[in-house]
Amino acid sequence: MKKEAIIIALLFLLLPTVVRGDILYMLGLAFIFVVYCVSWDIIAGYTGQTNLGHTVFIGIGAYTTALLNSTRIPHPNLPIFVTIIAGGFVAMLFGLFIGCVCLRLKEYYLALVTAILPLIFIQLTNIYSGIFGGYEGFSIPFSKALPGGVIGNYYISLIFCFSSIYLTYLLVNSRLGLKLKAIRDDEELAEAVGIDVVKYKLIAFCISAFFAGMAGALAVHYKLTVGVDYFGIPLMLEIILGVIAGGLGTLYGGAIGGFLIFTAKNWILIQISSYLSTILPFRVSDELILYAILIILVVRFPRGIIYELYTKLKLH
């Protein structure tokens, strides 16, 4: 996969020379979404923990950088990239706190508790609307946009995406990664051989939160707005779909699946839903089609389409 990754990276580097600006804008957002998926795969795919509240970390990172680049709270004037990193660290601190509370739970108990967290944060943004802008959110100044215009945004997102994937690759292939996989495969056996299960699950939770927080922060500077959609359940379902489409615990599967799902939803599925709405007596939304695909993938390809194709190609 290393050669394939280098070829893909070179193709993306050359893409701005032949592709329109509007497409580059969407591809830049797709790279950020890939990091959402890869960061979730660290805890779900490599550690085996069902975290359905991953968007909490994305939202915390997003709101942190947005507040540090607005006049809503007193703060020092910080460079854009410092506030993006700050978004990652604040998300990681919340990940540490949430992990300490939740990671002693197992299976559907963990899934249930983490699924409620985004709803809590959405309500908090409305309760403290003077700071967080309520359900509608708020904008940050144009002066806080990423440098370089559309092409600059594209390359920054591309570099961030591939850097995050590479760092995650180093993580999952390290001794720490081996311990996380051991916990995923058999938690009781891992504990029996001396692995501190809670400690390493908490480490994975914090790393996952850090990457998600930075990605959410970068998205704010990309779009210049922040709102409760960063915490939203639809975004969480799209992340799950992206990773499942590619294959849980494969890294490349989550990256490829996330990219394909994002581009499909924002280009192909919108056109399909518009066409179906004209021939059917009811409106068909692109999200409805997306959720139907999620159900089919879970039933038909539990290990992911990308993983299945890659395995078959290796066998041949």
Name the residue among 152, 165, 164, 199 with its Cα closest to residue 180.
199
Q: How far apart are CA 129 and CA 126, in angstroms?
A: 5
Q: pLDDT class for 312, splitting at 50, 70, 90?
A: low
pLDDT, mean of residues 10-31: 91
Q: Of the ranges 51-65, 81-95, 228-242, which one carries the lowest mean pLDDT score?
A: 228-242
User: What is the band of 311 on the pLDDT scale with cuts at 50, 70, 90?
Assistant: low
Angle, CA 293 vertex, CA 288 and CA 297 arms, to 5°: 150
Using an 8 Å Cβ cutoff, are 246 and 257 in contact?
yes
Q: What secondary structure letter does DSSP report for 47? A: S
46-57 pLDDT tens trace = 998 888 999 999
Q: For the beta carbon of residue 285, count every other beta carbon within 10 angstroms.
A: 13
pLDDT at site 214: 97
Q: What is the pLDDT of residues 169-180, one digit of tens each?
A: 999 999 999 999
Supply the pLDDT for residue 160. Answer: 96
pLDDT at position 33 over 90: yes
Return the higher-pLDDT residue of 69 and 105: 69
Which residue type occupies 135? Y
**271 vs 314, which has greater pLDDT?**
271
Burial class (CB in 10 A: 0-12, 13-18, 19+), 99: buried
Average of pLDDT values for 10-29? 91
Q: What is the pLDDT of residue 156?
A: 96
pLDDT surpassing 70 at residue 279: yes
Whether pTM > 0.85 for this model: the answer is yes
Q: Which is nearest to 115 in space by CA: 51, 210, 37, 42?
A: 51
Q: Name the 3-class secondary structure at 287.
A: helix
pLDDT of residue 153: 94
Give 123-142 pLDDT, tens digit per residue.
Answer: 999 999 889 999 889 999 99
Report the 3 state secondary structure along 206-232.
HHHHHHHHHHHHHHHHHHCEECHHHCC
